[in-house]
Structure 1
Amino acid sequence: MAGGGKRKRLSLSKLYSFACGKTSLKGDQSQMGTTGSEEWLTSIFLVVGILAFTPLAPYTAVSAIFPLIVVVGATMVKEGIEDWKRTQQDIEMNNRKTRVHQGDGTFKSTGWKNLRVGDIVKVKKDEYFPADLLLLSSTFDDGICYVETMNLDGETNLKLKQALEATAFMHEDSHYRDFKALIKCEDPNTNLYSFVGTLDFEQNLYPLSPQRLLLRDSKAQKYRVYIWGSYLHWT
Structure 2
Amino acid sequence: MKRFVYINDESYQNDYCDNQISNTKYTLWNFLPKNLWEQFRRFMNQYFLLIACLQLWSLITPVNPASTWGPLIVIFAVSATKEAWDDYNRYISDKQANEKKVWIVKNGARKHIQAQDIRVGNIVWIRENEEVPCDLVLTGTSEPQGICHVETAALDGEIDLKTRVIPTTCVGLDSEQLHKIKGVIECPIPDKDIRRFDANIRLFPPFIDNDICPLTINNTLLQSCYLRNTEWACGVAVYTGLLPWMQ
Which TM class, normalised by the smaller chain length? Answer: 0.7 to 0.9
Tell me whether 18-27 or 175-184 shows the greater mean CA deviation: 18-27
Q: Percent identity?
A: 22
Q: TM-score, normalised by structure 1?
A: 0.84
Identify the residue that residue 30 of structure 2 maps to in structure 1: none
Please say if 1:221 is aligned against 2:228.
yes
Distance of 1:52 and 1:62 partners within structure 2? 9
Identify the residue that residue 17 of structure 2 maps to in structure 1: 25
Contact 2:23-2:94 within 8 A present in 1 as well:
no
Tell me whether 191-200 or 25-34 shows the greater mean CA deviation: 25-34
Q: TM-score, normalised by structure 2?
A: 0.81
Q: Please report how far the alpha carbon of residue 179 of structure 1 lies from its aligned counterpart in structure 2 after TM superposition.
A: 1.0
Of 117, 122, 142, which residue of structure 1 is paired with 2:120?
A: 117
SS of the residue corresponding to residue 104 of structure 2 reads: strand
Distance of 1:214 and 1:178 partners within structure 2? 20
Q: Please report how far the alpha carbon of residue 40 of structure 1 lies from its aligned counterpart in structure 2 after TM superposition.
A: 3.5
CA displacement 1:115-163 (0-9 Å, x = unmatched)? 1111001111101111111111111223111100112222110011111
CA displacement 1:166-211 (0-9 Å, x = unmatched)? 1132241x11343111112112222221112221223122221111
Equivalent residue letter for 1:17: Y
SS of the residue corresponding to residue 182 of structure 1 reads: strand
Distance of 1:93 and 1:220 partners within structure 2? 16
Identify the residue that residue 81 of structure 1 maps to in structure 2: 85
Q: Please report how far the alpha carbon of residue 37 of structure 1 lies from its aligned counterpart in structure 2 after TM superposition.
A: 10
Distance of 2:45 and 2:24 partners within structure 1? 20
Equivalent residue letter for 1:211: N
Equivalent residues in 2 for 1:46-85, closer than 5 Å: 46-54=49-57, 55-85=59-89
Distance of 1:160 and 1:37 partners within structure 2? 49
Contact 2:152-2:226 within 8 A present in 1 as well:
yes
Unaligned runs of 5+ in 1: 1-10
Q: Please report how far the alpha carbon of residue 28 of structure 1 lies from its aligned counterpart in structure 2 after TM superposition.
A: 8.8
Of 11, 16, 19, which residue of structure 1 is paired with 2:5?
A: 16
CA displacement 1:48-91 (0-9 Å, x = unmatched)? 11221333334122222222212221221111111110110011
Distance of 1:219 and 1:199 partners within structure 2? 24
Please say if 1:132 is aligned against 2:135.
yes
Please say if 1:210 is aligned against 2:217.
yes
Q: 1:56 to 1:74 in 2, by over 3 A?
A: same
Q: Please report how far the alpha carbon of residue 31 of structure 1 lies from its aligned counterpart in structure 2 after TM superposition.
A: 5.9
Of 190, 193, 208, which residue of structure 1 is paired with 2:195?
A: 193
Q: Please report how far the alpha carbon of residue 29 of structure 1 lies from its aligned counterpart in structure 2 after TM superposition.
A: 5.5
> Structure 1 residue runs of 4+, over 3 Å off?
26-38
Q: Please report how far the alpha carbon of residue 38 of structure 1 lies from its aligned counterpart in structure 2 after TM superposition.
A: 8.2
Q: 1:168 to 1:216 in 2, by over 3 A?
A: same
Contact 1:137-1:169 within 8 A present in 2 as well:
no
Of 164, 175, 178, which residue of structure 2 is paired with 1:176?
A: 178
Equivalent residue letter for 1:210: I
